Chains A and B, each alone.
Chain A
Amino acid sequence: MNRRRYIAGRLGQMMVTLAVLAVLVFYMIRLIPGDPAVTMLGIQATPDAVEQLRHQLGLDRPVPVQFAIFIAGAARGDLGESVLARVPVASLVRQRLPLTLFLVTYAMVLAALITVPLGTAAALQRDRPLDQAIRGFSVFWISTPSFWVGILMLIAFGVKLGLFPVGGGGRTFAEHVYYLFLPALTMGLGVSAVLTRNLRDSILATLTAEHVVVARAKGLPARRIVTRHVLRNAVISTVTLLGLYIGFLVGGSVIIESVFALPGMGSEMVSAILGRDYQVVQGFTLVYAVLVSVVYLLTDVAYAFIDPRISL
């Protein structure tokens, strides 16, 4: 019952956040200098042509009217029509969200697969060569920009070795796994670098905890102590961090999708911001906000399952 009330409360908070965000985004994008019509016409922008285009794009209506249309639409799930592409924003979301979701999830899975063994190994081999190597690996990936890593991956595994396709997202699930491996790995490595350090420290802290000392004294096998008593406790802070990193991953997908020429939300968002495609920026920001809020909620719910002591 408590759990249900907690979730309902969080959902309520989420709605308030989204409403405030909708107002902010709507007005902020219009406060930035720049006009879609002038941007589109570029050097050929004459007052007459700009006026024609503004009328055709519906930008000559008063801003409060545009806002009312946006809010009324958003409440019904209609995010309006892209100023530049002339297609409903909702259909752009439907078309592009699956790829971004897949990419971000894939990156998180890869990050987890890299983090757990490396973090555990580093902690158990504390200050030995393996630990030093893993810590070096972390520092390297934290300090390397992802677009550069992406291009290197493309050159090495795409062009030179021909192991993976250079760009494109694929159509089926299996194709997604294959096509998106390099971009997901690029994103995943960046995140796992931070998570590995976090998990190592957290395991080291847990190893000295009383219940672990007791388990050792009872003569439990080392493997069992690590998997059942250490990892499960140590991983909580890492899961929190991974949840927080969803925002980082969604943000990072903007760059990675451009580098790997992936038709996801990120690359669309970049062109929408540069071209002042107000409707797309508004709509996509809302979708991103919903995504991140839901993930944060799920992260909190996940604690309860990992650690029974935490009640919601």
Chain B
Amino acid sequence: MLSSRCGSPGGGALKRRAFLSSALAGAGLAALGGRRRMAVAEAASVRRGGTLTWAYTTIPLRLDPLWTQARTDSIIISNIAQGLVRANPTATAVEPALAERWSVSGNGLTYTFFLRGAARFHDGRPVTADDVIASLERSRALGVYKWSLADVKTIAKLDDKRVAIVLNAPVASILARLAMISNAVFPKDQVTSTGQRELTKPIGTGPFMVREWVANDHLTLDANPRYWEAAPDGKPYPYLDGVIIKQVPEDTTKVLQIQAGDLGGAEAIPFSQVPALKRDPRGQLLTFPQQQVYFMVIQLTRPPFDDVKVRQAMSLALDRKVFVDRATAGLAIPANSFMPKSGLYWNPRASLPYDLTKAKQLMRESKYPNGRSGITLQLPSGSQIGRDNAVLAQQMWGEIGLQVQIQEVDGSALAAAWYESNYEAISGYQWTNGMMDPDQLVQFFFVDPRMNTGYQPSDQAVRMVKAAAEELDPAKRRQLYDQIQLIYNTDVGGTISLYYTPSVNYLTPHVRDFYRTPLGVPLYWKTWLAR
């Protein structure tokens, strides 16, 4: 497993106070006795109260985690609802949430969860085994994430506070899957009455509750006074009285509203604005590592991408350092794998080097020694990062005789073309992990839908993917994933990874201890306002 990476890009983003309080909130409290005193002393300066206004390009369209697709939806719902377990703040391990602990049978097939006595719904009712079962059964039958519980055989009530989940076969990522927001717990009567329809006013167990939700405008959240998780000052989180999530589509407007004090903060500030904002005292710029990788998509069934030597040459011809500097103002990290760097089982020894001489040699040895012209590289219109990547790639691929034409296409039309495998190459696409375990990502790249690139991995590779999904020994699993990443790099399997991007946040100076996990979840409940 990866160690916590507080010191990665974004520097002091994860402040010690935030890290300590989250560590205290998680498992293993006793071991931190000395540090706890320090944290309590620091907590004395924390100010409770106030409402934080935060802007996103689009606010949640759905509050039912079974049907959420946008990242914003799921990261906001993570502040409203919780499951049995959740990802820890560094997304490197699963930590207790509604279940205060769990046990696993010897064969790895039965998981018994012990529900937290203090866990209550927003309406005050205690969380029971019946609520857990109703919610998980709904998530197993319905929605776009039902694959996450596909290997579950039964979900049974042992008593009011104990639930047993029995699997058909070992699933190494089952805890990570249960930590997904789609497996959040809602009251049984709400689940039953909602049925196949969509939850619009979810009664969760999270630190915030929904007060008002105006589609495409704003979402007002109030603090949940019954939240189970205690802050270092002994009182429950959250520190804030509430959070208002506002929709502000224009990036420049977000920045101006923060500088004018009308907004507390916003995410997804364009990289090009970062250098100027860093020097501006009217706001604080915080970057957090996130499990996100930008890549070029290529359609392997079309020439010249059907030749692996051409693909290898294309990857070798890309100077990823230049991409990072020009397209992300130096904030991203050059990619070395299709798996995100801050994610579990990322292979530090994998590499995607820049070697123009070798690239030219591979082109000469390929089916297309004279290169190829007229390749169409499409990007979603309006995507600055997609355009920057396309222009750089056009230049670098030109060096090895691949002449690329750049074409901007409406985002929805391009998504449809990608889904139908009707394209040559696409710029501006990225993968962001919604789950802390690489299981889903690897399935998507190797098994189905293989990113709609027509990639045909070897049978051996597919067997390794399957074995890694079932392997319960982390060390053996790591070996498998290490191998899988090397195979993908050699095959150049339909995506050419460029770089790992951090989450860029801009805040007013009085917002304190804001933290975003590598899965993108803002821990609003640990954030406080200095005035």
Contact status A259-B253, CB under 8 Å:
yes
Is B4 an interface residue when CB atoms closer than 8 A count as contact?
A: no
Output the least CB separation between B251 and chain A (Å).
11
Counting CB contacts under 8 A, is B32 at the interface? no
Interface residue A252 (Cβ < 8 Å from any Cβ of B): no
Q: Which of B157-165, B211-219, B393-401, B475-483 lies at the binding interface?
A: B211-219
Min CB–CB distance B291 → chain A (angstroms)? 13
B61 & A44 in contact (Cβ 8 Å cutoff): no
Number of B interface residues in the complex (CB < 8 A): 47
The reply to whether B257 and A167 contact each other, CB–CB distance below 8 Å, is yes
* Smallest Cβ-Cβ distance to A92: which chain B residue: B215
Indicate which residue in B69, B417, B431 contacts A40 across the interface (CB closer than 8 Å). B69
For residues 420 through 454 of chain B, which have their beta carbon under 8 Å from a beta carbon of chain A?
429-431, 434, 444, 448-449, 451
Partner of A41, one of B69, B252, B448: B69
B252 to chain A, nearest CB (A): 6
Question: In the bound complex, what is the Cα–Cα distance between A260 and B416 (angstroms)?
Answer: 31
Q: Is A42 an interface residue (CB 8 A)?
A: yes
B416 & A166 in contact (Cβ 8 Å cutoff): no
Q: Is A263 an interface residue when CB atoms closer than 8 A count as contact?
A: yes
A283 to B410, CA, bound (A): 22
Instruction: Give the distance to chain A from B100, nearest Cβ to Cβ, in Å.
Output: 32
Contact A34 B215 (CB under 8 A): no
Contact A39–B411 (Cβ < 8 Å): yes
B415 touching A34, Cβ below 8 Å: yes
A151 at the interface (CB under 8 A from B): yes
Evaluate contact between A95 and B214: CB separation under 8 angstroms. yes
For B244-263 the 0/1 string (1 means CB < 8 A from A) is 00111110110011011010
Question: What residues on B are CB-neighbors of A158 within 8 Å?
Answer: 256, 260
State in angstroms the CA–CA spacing of A9 and B62 once bound together: 45
Residues of B within 8 A of A39 (CB): 411-412, 415-416
Segment at the B interface, from A48-56, A230-238, A303-311:
A48-56
Which residues of the partner chain A approach B146 to less than 8 Å between Cβ atoms?
Answer: 52
Identify the closest chain A residue to B63 (Cβ). Answer: A86
Q: A46 in the interface, Cβ–Cβ < 8 Å?
A: yes
Judge if B388 is at the interface, Cβ distance under 8 Å.
no
Is A129 located at the chain interface by the 8 A CB criterion?
A: no
CB distance from B379 to the nearest CB of A (A): 14
Which residues of chain B are within 8 angstroms of A47 by Cβ–Cβ distance? 449
A35 to B420, CA, bound (A): 11
Contacts of B416 in A (CB 8 A): 33-35, 38-39
Q: Tell me the complex Cα distance, A35–B411, Å.
A: 11
CB 8 Å contact bits of B55-70 with A (1 = contact, 0 = none): 1001001100001011
Which listed residue (B144, B200, B216) contacts A49, Cβ 8 A? B144
Q: Name which residue of chain B comes closest to A85, CB basis.
A: B215
How far, in whole Å, are A274 and B448 apart by their CA atoms in the complex?
A: 27
Contact of A82 among B215, B248, B260 (CB under 8 A): B215
Determine the chain A residues whose CB is within 8 A of the CB of B260 once the complex forms: 158-159, 162, 165-166
Against B, the Cβ 8 Å flags (1 = close, 0 = not) of A152-195 are 00110011001001111000000000000000000000000000
Residues of A243-299 contacting chain B, CB below 8 A: 258-261, 263, 267-268, 270-271, 274-276
B69 touches A260 (CB 8 A): no
Let me know if A34 and B410 touch, CB within 8 A. Answer: yes
Per the bound structure, the CA–CA distance linking A32 and B414 in Å amounts to 11
- CB interface residues, A 46-71, toward B, < 8 Å: 46-50, 52-53, 56
Q: A212 at interface (Cβ–Cβ under 8 A)?
A: no
A154, B256: Cβ atoms under 8 Å?
yes
Report the bound CA distance from A104 to B443 in whole Å: 51
B215 contacts A52, CB within 8 Å? no
Q: Is B143 interfacial (CB 8 A cutoff)?
A: yes
In the assembled complex, which residues on chain B have CB atoms less than 8 Å from the CB atom of A270? 249
Report the nearest A residue to B62, measured CB to CB.
A86
With the chains together, A154 CA to B251 CA distance in Å?
13
**Cα-based distance from A86 to B68 in the complex (angstroms):** 12
Residue of A nearest to B430 (CB): A43
Bound-state CA distance A167–B252 (Å) is 12
Q: Is the CB of B253 within 8 A of A38?
A: no
* Main SS at interface, chain A: helix
Cα A154 to Cα B430 with chains together (Å): 32
Task: Report yes or no: B216 in contact with A274, Cβ–Cβ below 8 A.
Answer: no
Q: Report yes or no: A43 in contact with B431, Cβ–Cβ below 8 A.
A: yes
Residues of chain B lying within 8 A (CB to CB) of residue A260: 253
Report yes or no: A275 in contact with B412, Cβ–Cβ below 8 A. Answer: yes
| Distance, CA A168 to CA B144, complexed state (A) | 35
Q: Is the CB of B144 within 8 A of A53?
A: yes
Q: Check: A205 CB closer than 8 A to any chain B CB.
A: no
Query: Please, how many angstroms separate the alpha-carbon atoms of A258 and B251 in the complex?
Result: 10
Q: CA–CA, A275 to B216, complex, Å?
A: 12
A130 at the interface (CB under 8 A from B): no
Chain A minimum-CB-distance residue to B70: A40
> Which among A32, A47, A56, A162 has the highest number of chain B CB atoms within 10 Å?
A56
B67 lies within 8 A of A53 (CB): yes
Structural contact, A34 and B412, CB atoms closer than 8 A: yes
| CB-contact partner of B253 in A44, A85, A167, under 8 A | A167
> Within the complex, what minimum Cβ distance (angstroms) separates A43 from chain B?
6
**Residues of A close to B61: CB separation below 8 A:** 40, 84-86
- Complex Cα distance, B333 from A20, in Å, reads 54
Q: Verify B415–A46 contact, CB threshold 8 A.
A: no
Bound CA–CA A166/B259 (angstroms): 9
Q: Are A48 and B147 in contact (CB under 8 A)?
A: yes
Query: Which of B250, B252, B448 is the one whose CB lies under 8 Å from A46?
Result: B448
**Using Cβ atoms and an 8 Å threshold, which residues of chain A touch B259?**
159
In the assembled complex, the CB of B294 is this many whole angstroms from the nearest CB of chain A, namely: 11
Is the C-beta of B413 less than 8 angstroms from some C-beta in chain A? Answer: yes
Contact: A167 with B419, CB < 8 Å? no
Q: Write the B198-230 contact mask toward A (1 if CB under 8 angstroms, else 0).
A: 101000000000000011111000000000000
B contact residues around A40 at 8 Å (CB): 61, 69-70
Query: Does the CB pair B216–A261 fall under 8 Å?
Result: no
Cβ-defined contact, B419 with A45, below 8 A: yes
Q: What is the bound-complex CA distance between A159 and B248, given in angstroms?
A: 17
Query: Distance in Å from the Cβ of B144 to the closest Cβ of chain A?
Result: 4
Distance between B454 CB and nearest chain A CB, rounded to angstroms: 15
Residues of B within 8 A of A82 (CB): 215
Instruction: Say whether, besides A41-B144, A82-B215, A32 and B413 are in contact (CB < 8 Å).
Output: yes
A229 to B146, CA, bound (A): 76
- Determine whether A28 belongs to the interface, using a CB cutoff of 8 Å to chain B: no
Decide: B249 and A261 in contact? CB cutoff 8 A: yes
Q: Is there a chain B Cβ closer than 8 Å to A220's Cβ?
A: no
Partner of B67, one of A56, A87, A159: A56
Residues of A within 8 A of B448 (CB): 46
Supposing A40-B70, A44-B69 touch, asked if A166 and B253 sit within 8 A by C-beta, the answer is: yes
The 9 A-B pairs of least Cβ separation, nearest first, read: A34-B412, A85-B215, A49-B144, A33-B413, A166-B260, A263-B217, A261-B248, A39-B412, A40-B69
- A33-B413, A43-B431, A45-B449 are known contacts; what are 7 more A-B pairs with Cβ within 8 Å? A38-B415, A39-B411, A53-B144, A56-B198, A155-B256, A166-B253, A263-B214
Q: Could you write out 22 A-B pairs with CB less than 8 Å apart?
A: A32-B413, A35-B416, A42-B69, A45-B415, A46-B449, A84-B61, A85-B61, A86-B61, A86-B200, A159-B259, A166-B257, A166-B260, A167-B248, A168-B262, A259-B250, A260-B253, A261-B253, A263-B216, A263-B218, A267-B216, A270-B249, A275-B412
Interface residues of A (CB under 8 A from B): 32-36, 38-50, 52-53, 56, 82, 84-87, 92, 95, 151, 154-155, 158-159, 162, 165-168, 258-261, 263, 267-268, 270-271, 274-276
